Amino acid sequence: MDHLMAQQVKRARDYGIHIGVLPTGPLNAITDVPGVKVGQVTLIQGDNIRTGVTAILPHGDNLFQQKLPAAIYIGNGFGKLIGSTQVEELGLIESPVVLTNTLNVATAAEALVEYSLSQPGNEAIGSVNVVAGETNDGFLNDIRGRHVKKEHVLEAIRKASGGRVEEGNVGAGTGTVCFGYKGGIGTASRKLPASLGGYTVGVLVQSNFGGVLQVDGVPVGEELGQYSFKQELDKSSDGSCMMVVITDAPLDARNLKRLAKRAMLGLGKTGGIASNGSGDYVISISTAYRIPHESAQPLDQVPLLRNDNMSPLFLAAIEATEEAIINSLFTARTMQGYKGHQIQALPIERVLQIIKQYRK
């Protein structure tokens, strides 16, 4: 996507759709959380290659040496999330998060290992837990060709930056399908008012799943006549959604897992159903403090937010996930790919008419 085209892409808010009640961050993106960087490589080649890589760096320093608290919640486990068990066990993440397609998740992990071993200060390490996830883009992409190479993953990590995040048919969302329309990468954020802590919650999604689409509570999928199980033996409900939730609120792994669960509520608000064949994973991370790989001190002493103060963050995660998914649909464009398969973009003008009718 060139710069001019990127400038023309409109998100849900640009059409006057304001999901939820909490204010967004300045960019309404995961990069509103200070220090978070996103890098993407998009592979659109010939008639059959429609795939890519999205890399999320929770901070720009050496993540192995300066780990962050993290948790993973599995909404439905039909997927491949490399590195999940150690995050679950230790409550820490020590590599960037890389998203790609199903058959390239091992390539992504290999690249992450190479990246981690090559970082200054890591010369002596003999183990690293990398985190790589996926959705299946095989309808539009020649997935068996495994076109994502190690250099593409390393390029995505190297290109990662703060600021605006490209959405739609980019990176790991290049070939994805959502609610029968073109899906992709989407992002959003919420910034709590000072009275509720002032914390930011940012979400990035790779949308590739089915159900009955709702946009800000309006039954758009029903009105458009496109939804899962409209026809017998319909498989369009299957797919996956990867959700990355990052906050600067000081949370430990236990409360990060509680936060991650709320992202699934956001997915539900869009009409997603976490179907049998869907890999719906939430990776949640706090950037509020770091845990050094080695320390002379036997105790980690960090201030943690009390349980009683979690509820505003729960709402923030729900709203940001819902809006990130809707943004992935609004910014995606019609795409033709593998074997001539074509997926139409969400018909925005018709959607806006439906919303207007329901708002009367």
Query: Which one of the listed residues 84, 116, 228, 240 is annotated catalytic?
Result: 240
Query: Which one of the listed residues 248, 280, 284, 286 is annotated catalytic?
Result: 280
Helix axis angle, 105-118 relative to 150-159, nearest 10°?
Answer: 60
Say which DSSP state 313 is in.
H
Is 137 an annotated catalytic residue?
A: no
**Residue 337: phi, psi to the nearest 5?**
-155, -135
Among 290, 246, 348, which residue's Cα sits nearest to residue 25? Answer: 246
- Helix ranges (H only) for 83-227 are 84-90, 105-118, 150-159, 220-224
**In terms of C-beta density within 10 A (0-12 exposed, 13-18 middle, 19 or more buried), how is residue 42 classed?**
buried
**Positive or negative torsion for Cα 94, 55, 178, 312:** positive
Is 278 an annotated catalytic residue?
A: yes
Query: Which one of the listed residues 116, 189, 207, 278 is annotated catalytic?
Result: 278
**Nearest-5° Cα angle at 90, 87 to 96:** 40
Using alpha carbons, list the distances in angstroms from residue 197 to 131, 188, 192.
Answer: 30, 19, 6
- Rg of the chain over Cα atoms, rounded to whole angstroms, equals 19
**Positive or negative torsion for Cα 76, 63, 60, 101:** negative
Is 240 an annotated catalytic residue?
A: yes
Query: What is the set of active-site residues?
Result: 240, 278, 280
